[in-house]
Protein backbone atom coordinates (compact mmCIF):
# COMPACT_ATOMS: atom_id res chain seq x y z
CA UNK A 1 0.00 0.00 0.00
CA UNK A 2 1.24 3.48 -0.85
CA UNK A 3 2.07 5.22 2.45
CA UNK A 4 1.07 8.56 0.91
CA UNK A 5 -2.56 7.48 0.61
CA UNK A 6 -5.23 9.21 2.61
CA UNK A 7 -8.36 7.14 3.34
CA UNK A 8 -11.50 8.80 4.68
CA UNK A 9 -14.70 6.98 5.61
CA UNK A 10 -18.18 8.37 6.30
CA UNK A 11 -21.42 6.63 7.23
CA UNK A 12 -24.99 7.78 7.75
CA UNK A 13 -28.21 6.16 8.94
CA UNK A 14 -31.58 7.68 7.97
CA UNK A 15 -35.06 7.05 9.32
CA UNK A 16 -37.03 6.70 6.07
CA UNK A 17 -40.47 7.92 7.33
CA UNK A 18 -39.07 11.42 7.96
CA UNK A 19 -39.07 11.93 4.17
CA UNK A 20 -42.82 11.35 3.78
CA UNK A 21 -43.81 14.94 4.54
CA UNK A 22 -41.21 16.81 2.48
CA UNK A 23 -42.71 18.96 -0.24
CA UNK A 24 -41.24 19.39 -3.71
CA UNK A 25 -39.47 22.66 -2.82
CA UNK A 26 -37.65 21.01 0.10
CA UNK A 27 -36.70 18.01 -2.04
CA UNK A 28 -35.25 20.26 -4.76
CA UNK A 29 -32.83 21.80 -2.23
CA UNK A 30 -31.34 18.37 -1.50
CA UNK A 31 -31.78 16.27 -4.64
CA UNK A 32 -30.77 16.87 -8.26
CA UNK A 33 -33.40 16.48 -10.97
CA UNK A 34 -31.93 13.11 -12.01
CA UNK A 35 -32.08 11.86 -8.42
CA UNK A 36 -35.77 12.80 -8.20
CA UNK A 37 -36.71 10.68 -11.22
CA UNK A 38 -37.20 7.75 -8.84
CA UNK A 39 -39.38 9.31 -6.15
CA UNK A 40 -39.73 6.22 -3.95
CA UNK A 41 -39.16 7.35 -0.40
CA UNK A 42 -36.59 4.63 0.38
CA UNK A 43 -34.64 5.63 -2.74
CA UNK A 44 -34.51 9.29 -1.69
CA UNK A 45 -33.58 8.39 1.89
CA UNK A 46 -30.70 6.27 0.58
CA UNK A 47 -29.42 9.14 -1.56
CA UNK A 48 -29.70 11.51 1.40
CA UNK A 49 -27.71 9.08 3.55
CA UNK A 50 -25.06 8.72 0.82
CA UNK A 51 -24.62 12.50 0.55
CA UNK A 52 -24.36 12.86 4.34
CA UNK A 53 -21.82 10.02 4.46
CA UNK A 54 -19.84 11.76 1.69
CA UNK A 55 -19.80 15.04 3.63
CA UNK A 56 -18.42 13.16 6.65
CA UNK A 57 -15.74 11.43 4.57
CA UNK A 58 -14.88 14.73 2.88
CA UNK A 59 -14.60 16.45 6.26
CA UNK A 60 -16.95 19.31 5.40
CA UNK A 61 -20.49 19.99 4.33
CA UNK A 62 -20.89 21.38 0.83
CA UNK A 63 -23.89 22.25 -1.30
CA UNK A 64 -26.24 19.27 -1.55
CA UNK A 65 -26.75 19.85 -5.28
CA UNK A 66 -23.00 19.72 -6.01
CA UNK A 67 -23.08 15.97 -5.29
CA UNK A 68 -24.90 13.56 -7.60
CA UNK A 69 -25.76 9.99 -6.69
CA UNK A 70 -26.39 7.91 -9.78
CA UNK A 71 -25.89 4.28 -10.81
CA UNK A 72 -23.14 2.66 -12.85
CA UNK A 73 -23.91 0.19 -15.64
CA UNK A 74 -24.19 -2.65 -13.11
CA UNK A 75 -26.78 -0.75 -11.07
CA UNK A 76 -24.41 -0.01 -8.20
CA UNK A 77 -24.55 3.48 -6.69
CA UNK A 78 -22.00 5.95 -7.98
CA UNK A 79 -21.12 9.33 -6.46
CA UNK A 80 -20.16 12.22 -8.72
CA UNK A 81 -18.44 15.30 -7.30
CA UNK A 82 -16.46 17.26 -9.88
CA UNK A 83 -13.85 18.93 -7.62
CA UNK A 84 -12.31 15.57 -6.70
CA UNK A 85 -9.10 15.06 -8.62
CA UNK A 86 -8.23 12.09 -10.81
CA UNK A 87 -6.01 10.73 -8.06
CA UNK A 88 -9.07 10.23 -5.82
CA UNK A 89 -11.29 7.17 -5.72
CA UNK A 90 -14.79 7.35 -4.22
CA UNK A 91 -16.83 4.30 -3.35
CA UNK A 92 -20.42 4.42 -2.09
CA UNK A 93 -22.74 1.73 -0.78
CA UNK A 94 -26.44 2.16 0.08
CA UNK A 95 -28.69 -0.31 1.87
CA UNK A 96 -32.34 -0.26 3.00
CA UNK A 97 -34.09 -2.35 5.63
CA UNK A 98 -37.49 -1.62 7.08
CA UNK A 99 -37.66 2.00 8.19
CA UNK A 100 -33.94 2.67 7.71
CA UNK A 101 -31.49 3.51 4.95
CA UNK A 102 -27.74 3.24 5.50
CA UNK A 103 -24.91 4.56 3.39
CA UNK A 104 -21.15 4.31 3.59
CA UNK A 105 -18.63 6.30 1.56
CA UNK A 106 -14.90 5.74 1.23
CA UNK A 107 -12.61 8.34 -0.33
CA UNK A 108 -9.05 7.28 -1.19
CA UNK A 109 -6.68 10.07 -2.16
CA UNK A 110 -3.21 9.38 -3.49
CA UNK A 111 -1.20 12.31 -2.17
Catalytic residue, candidates 56, 60, 61, 71: 56
Interval 43-62: pLDDT, tens: 999 999 999 999 999 999 99
Interval 5-19: pLDDT, tens: 899 999 999 999 998
User: Nearest 5°: CA angle at 80, between 89 and 27?
Assistant: 140
Closest to 102 (Cα-Cα) out of 46, 31, 40: 46
Residue 92: left (phi > 0), alpha (psi -120 to 50), or beta? beta
In SS3 terms, 17-28 reads as HHHCCCCHHHHH
CATH fourth-level superfamily of 5-110: 4'-phosphopantetheinyl transferase domain (3.90.470.20)
Catalytic residue, candidates 43, 71, 78, 96: 96
Q: What is the pLDDT of residue 5?
A: 86
Q: What is the pTM of this model?
A: 0.92
Tell me if residue 43 is catalytic: no
Q: What is the pLDDT of residue 88?
A: 87
With 80 as the cut, is the pLDDT of residue 86 above it?
A: no
Q: What is the pLDDT of residue 82?
A: 86
Q: What is the pLDDT of residue 57?
A: 97
Amino acid sequence: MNMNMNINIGTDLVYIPKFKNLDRAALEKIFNIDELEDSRIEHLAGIFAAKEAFFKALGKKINWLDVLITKNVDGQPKLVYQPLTNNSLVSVSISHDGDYALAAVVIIKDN
